[in-house]
Amino acid sequence: MIKMSLKIYKKLDLTGQSCAGPLGELSGVLEEISPGEAVEAVLGDEATKKDVVAWATKKGYKVVQERRDGNNYVVVLTK
């Protein structure tokens, strides 16, 4: 469950991308967000989701939520 105080700043559909593509896009968008805002990323496979979660953790971002949505994976990140 997403904390009610968080506002989704942007939803990114990264389902057609793998490897560095989603990380580059997420990096740029995460730099734009303010406190209390989050970014929702929709990813096409579990391997990419794991890469995004590992990268976010290493960079010091918070993984607020991870869930499966049909064939996709959704990750919500904040600063």
30-67 per-position pLDDT tens digit:
999 999 999 999 999 999 999 999 999 999 999 999 99
Domain architecture of the chain: domains with CATH: 7-78 (3.30.110.40)
Tokens of 50: 């794991």
Residue 31 neighbours by CB under 8 Å, 6+ apart: none
Report CA torsion sign: 49, 11, 65, 1: negative
Tokens of 63: 């993984």
pLDDT higher than threshold 70 for residue 8 = yes
